């Protein structure tokens, strides 16, 4: 006996699901070197270093003091870690902490979050699509589309490649609480409310911008159903909100207590209609908005076009799904391409919302496409004239070429190099046609940088700091050494970033007088620039030192120490600064940032020492005081 249509359909679905799983894992093996997952150190991408430095400090705070933030004297002359700058990293930090407690290495736990983030995306979209009422086949089509976008859309690829893993995860995970809330508004079942509350809290824990992704469509769903809800169901909606706040309150309370240190965040992702035009044409106009990656947006626009067609079909059928998805997609599209016109929306880097926009679009897009290819009824193109069908077939040729070219762009270094012309030595041109394309895979750290890290680690006991020009190198040195680092992420949205010279002079050499004052104020003993900065060689207080590939070291001659006045020597470690050999009869001035939770022991006080150009100020211990003293983070504001 032959198999029924249902049996053949089930087997087809299983094969398609297996192909998706195999293809997605296979692509992961291509784009991320498999050995990196268990290499014993965090993934080597740019923002991965920032998030590793944040996670390391939070784990140390939880393990040592049971607190999710610390005062870190080793970064930016004394910074607060786990309070503000890492608001987009809370879920990753907790994952790392729990993984380490379960026996994984800290790096292994950290990397496993990114691994799960890569693998889970298509299946979260599948589950969300099913909650929206899509058939198994249509939901699997949405999962296929999500996997393709994850690897081939330039913004999504940039997000996980550069290290914005938490936001990329929230981009697809946000579809789940929205789907559950839709179901609760329609069916009003308890498990749907519980699922919406749990997933919404998790989504905000992974990235707080989930509020901006989900707020408008969820509010609209609630208002649409207002009159139909009983008081118990209104209470359940309040419970969903309360649960989300409760899950995130531990870090929200800390962030609010240090809110006075927050700086402007409206630098990256400032999109306008010009950005939309550039994305439609696959042009790169402003890398600070769309990422330092070639625009590869074809899959994005095909998905959006199919999503619009799907919502139009649902509206004509009076399907209640079309409106909330239209609200959600319209809001995200407007935010992504118009957000740069308004200063308030500019603070959340509006272009990044392209990611949740296109992930949400996979659901109506897949629903429409599955209807088009469904075996029920005639195919739409069956009534077309022969010339139209031929034209469609011909258009499939450049579409296929575009797909292959897009995939090849991300693996340029795996493509064969072009045969060099006679009388020329070598060629930089590869099969993708570009003179030079970065390797948009995650690969092992280069040996020169490893040698530099070892060189810094050998000097981490010195009473002088390292100013590091390259942002992610500074972050790497912050988590991998115990040296005092001035640098890291340049546009850190905390006032403590004044301890990074690039925050004051982001372009061009600093005036000589300001450079000298900066070296003195922050006890700089070494400068690391990438690539070389010849203007530094003209400063008489500097001497060119060792070179590690593209990294060049300059030594500061006769550097100042961490103690500006009062004698003795100072040493900082997490939540603590120790001073030995100080003069008890003289005011002690320390080149560390002041914080209102610092206390001095035994029998000494902590005051602010005003520093020009630094809004945070440094530490003063007024005389009399002990010759040996310790300044500790009390976790309580001192009045």
pLDDT in tens, 325-355: 999 999 999 999 999 999 999 999 999 999 9
Span 145-171, pLDDT tens digits: 999 999 999 999 999 999 999 999 999
Do 53 and 160 reside in the same domain of the chain?
Answer: yes
Question: Which residues have CB under 8 Å from 269's CB, separation 6+?
Answer: 288, 289, 339, 340, 349, 350, 351, 352
Span 85-109, pLDDT tens digits: 999 999 999 999 999 999 999 999 9
Span 264-291, pLDDT tens digits: 888 899 999 999 999 999 999 999 999 9
Whether the predicted pLDDT of 626 surpasses 50:
yes
Among 191-205, 418-432, 580-594, 599-613, the minimum mean pLDDT is found in 418-432
Do 596 and 615 reside in the same domain of the chain?
Answer: yes
The model's confidence at residue 394, banded by pLDDT at 50, 70 and 90, is confident
Domain assignment present for residue 436? The answer is no
Closest CA to 455 of 380, 552, 340: 552
Split into its structural domains, the chain has a count of 3
Measure Cα distances from 386 to 372, 379, 383, 389, 391 in Å. 19, 14, 9, 5, 9
- Domain boundary (353, 372, 391) is at 372
Q: Give pLDDT, residue 419.
A: 63
Whether the predicted pLDDT of 1 surpasses 50:
no
Q: What is the DSSP letter of 638?
A: -
The model's confidence at residue 51, banded by pLDDT at 50, 70 and 90, is very high
Q: What is the mean pLDDT of residues 546-564?
A: 95
The model's confidence at residue 577, banded by pLDDT at 50, 70 and 90, is very high
Question: Which residues have CB under 8 Å from 439's CB, separation 6+?
Answer: 412, 413
Domain assignment present for residue 393? The answer is no
Residue ranges of E strands in 114-271: none
Task: Count other Cβ atoms within 10 Å, centred on residue 347.
Answer: 15
Among 48-52, 207-211, 396-400, 608-612, the minimum mean pLDDT is found in 396-400
The overall average pLDDT reported for the chain is 92
Q: What is the mean pLDDT of residues 36-57?
A: 95
Considering all CA atoms of the chain, what is the largest pairwise distance in Å, rounded to the nearest integer? Answer: 101
Do 16 and 36 reside in the same domain of the chain?
Answer: yes
Higher pLDDT, 637 or 415: 637
To the nearest 10°, the Cα dihedral for 473, 635, 209, 96?
A: 60
Q: What is the mean pLDDT of residues 298-306?
A: 95
Whether the predicted pLDDT of 2 surpasses 70:
no
Domain assignment present for residue 285? The answer is yes
Closest CA to 294 of 426, 171, 200, 408: 408
- Domain boundary (309, 340, 372) is at 372
The model's confidence at residue 436, banded by pLDDT at 50, 70 and 90, is low
Do 545 and 573 reside in the same domain of the chain?
Answer: no
Domain assignment present for residue 568? The answer is yes
DSSP string, 187-205: H--HHHHHHHHHHHHHHHH
Do 567 and 512 reside in the same domain of the chain?
Answer: no
Do 580 and 494 reside in the same domain of the chain?
Answer: no
Whether the predicted pLDDT of 254 surpasses 50:
yes
Q: Give pLDDT, residue 4.
A: 55
The model's confidence at residue 11, banded by pLDDT at 50, 70 and 90, is confident
Do 574 and 542 reside in the same domain of the chain?
Answer: no
Among 129-133, 259-263, 504-508, the minimum mean pLDDT is found in 504-508
Do 573 and 626 reside in the same domain of the chain?
Answer: yes
Higher pLDDT, 4 or 115: 115
Do 550 and 568 reside in the same domain of the chain?
Answer: no
Expressed as residue numbers, the domain containing 323 is 7-372
State the pairing for strand pair 524-529/465-468.
parallel
pTM, to two decimals: 0.93
Phi and psi torsions of 119, nearest 5°: -80, -30
Q: What is the mean pLDDT of residues 428-442?
A: 69
Among 149-163, 312-326, 385-399, the minimum mean pLDDT is found in 385-399
Do 550 and 567 reside in the same domain of the chain?
Answer: no
Domain assignment present for residue 302? The answer is yes
Domain assignment present for residue 386? The answer is no
Domain assignment present for residue 461? The answer is yes
| Cis previous bond, 21, omega within 30 | no
The model's confidence at residue 408, banded by pLDDT at 50, 70 and 90, is confident
Closest CA to 136 of 13, 311, 24, 7: 13
Whether the predicted pLDDT of 453 surpasses 70:
yes
- Domain boundary (512, 533, 556) is at 556
Span 195-251, pLDDT tens digits: 999 999 999 999 999 999 999 999 999 999 999 999 999 999 999 999 999 999 999
Q: What is the DSSP letter of 3?
A: P
Do 278 and 212 reside in the same domain of the chain?
Answer: yes
Q: Please say whether the beta carbons of 429 and 418 come within 8 A.
A: yes
Q: What is the mean pLDDT of residues 64-79?
A: 96
Whether the predicted pLDDT of 176 surpasses 80:
yes
CA 78 to chain centre: 24
Do 63 and 201 reside in the same domain of the chain?
Answer: yes
Q: Give pLDDT, residue 400.
A: 85
Domain assignment present for residue 410? The answer is no
């Amino acid at each position: 006996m032959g198999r029924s249509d249902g049996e053949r359909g089930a087997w087809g679905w299983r094969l398609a699901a297996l192909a998706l799983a195999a293809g997605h894992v296979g692509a992961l093996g291509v784009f991320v070197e498999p050995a990196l997952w268990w290499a014993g150190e965090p993934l080597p991408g740019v923002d991965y270093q920032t998030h590793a430095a944040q996670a390391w400090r939070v784990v140390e705070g939880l393990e040592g003091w049971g607190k999710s933030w610390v005062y870190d004297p080793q970064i930016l002359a004394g910074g607060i870690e786990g309070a503000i700058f890492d608001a987009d990293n809370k879920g990753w930090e907790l994952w790392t902490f729990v993984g380490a407690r379960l026996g994984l290495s800290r790096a292994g736990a950290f990397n496993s979050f990114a691994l799960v983030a890569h693998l889970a995306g298509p299946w979260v979209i599948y589950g969300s699509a099913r909650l929206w009422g899509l058939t198994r086949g249509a939901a699997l089509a949405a999962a296929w589309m999500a996997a393709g976008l994850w690897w081939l859309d330039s913004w999504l690829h940039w997000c996980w490649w550069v290290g914005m893993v938490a936001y990329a995860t929230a981009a697809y995970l946000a579809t789940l609480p929205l789907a559950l809330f839709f179901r609760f508004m329609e069916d009003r079942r308890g498990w749907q409310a519980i699922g919406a509350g749990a997933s919404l809290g998790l989504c905000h824990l992974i990235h707080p911008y989930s509020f901006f992704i989900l707020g408008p469509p969820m509010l609209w769903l609630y208002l649409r159903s207002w009159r139909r809800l009983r008081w118990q169901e209104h209470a359940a909606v309040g419970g969903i909100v309360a649960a989300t706040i409760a899950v995130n309150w531990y870090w929200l309370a800390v962030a609010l207590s240090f809110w006075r240190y927050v700086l402007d965040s409206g630098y990256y992702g400032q999109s306008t209609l010009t950005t939309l035009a550039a994305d439609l044409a696959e042009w790169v106009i402003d890398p600070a908005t769309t990422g330092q990656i070639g625009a590869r947006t074809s899959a994005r626009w095909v998905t959006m076009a199919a999503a619009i067609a799907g919502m139009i079909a649902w509206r004509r059928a009076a399907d209640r799904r079309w409106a909330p998805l239209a609200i959600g997609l319209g809001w995200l599209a407007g935010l992504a391409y118009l957000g740069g016109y308004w200063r308030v929306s500019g603070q959340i880097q509006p272009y990044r919302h392209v990611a949740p926009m296109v992930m949400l679009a996979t659901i109506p897009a897949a629903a429409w496409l599955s209807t088009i290819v469904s075996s029920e009824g005639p195919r739409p193109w069956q009534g077309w004239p022969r010339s139209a069908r031929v034209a469609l077939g011909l258009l499939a040729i450049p579409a296929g070429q575009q797909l292959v070219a897009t995939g090849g762009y991300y693996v340029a270094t795996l493509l064969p190099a072009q045969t060099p012309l006679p009388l020329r030595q070598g060629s930089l041109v590869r099969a993708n046609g570009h003179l030079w394309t970065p390797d948009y895979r995650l690969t092992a750290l280069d040996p020169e940088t490893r040698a530099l890290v070892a060189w810094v680690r050998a000097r981490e006991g010195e009473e002088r700091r390292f100013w590091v020009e390259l942002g992610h190198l500074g972050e790497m040195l912050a988590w991998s050494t115990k040296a005092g680092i001035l640098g890291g992420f340049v546009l850190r949205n905390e006032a403590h970033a004044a301890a990074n010279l690039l925050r004051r002079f982001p372009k061009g050499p600093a005036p000589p007088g300001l450079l000298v004052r900066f070296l003195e104020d922050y006890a700089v003993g070494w400068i690391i620039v990438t690539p070389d900065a010849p203007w530094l060689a003209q400063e008489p207080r500097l001497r060119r030192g060792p070179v590690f590939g593209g990294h060049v070291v300059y030594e500061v001659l006769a550097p100042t120490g961490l103690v500006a006045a009062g004698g003795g020597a100072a040493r900082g470690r997490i939540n603590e600064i120790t001073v030995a050999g100080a003069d008890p009869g003289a005011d002690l001035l320390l080149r560390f940032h002041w914080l209102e939770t610092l206390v001095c022991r035994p029998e000494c006080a902590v005051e602010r020492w005003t520093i020009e150009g630094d809004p945070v100020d440094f530490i003063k211990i007024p005389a009399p005081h002990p010759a040996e003293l310790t300044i500790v983070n009390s976790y309580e504001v001192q009045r």
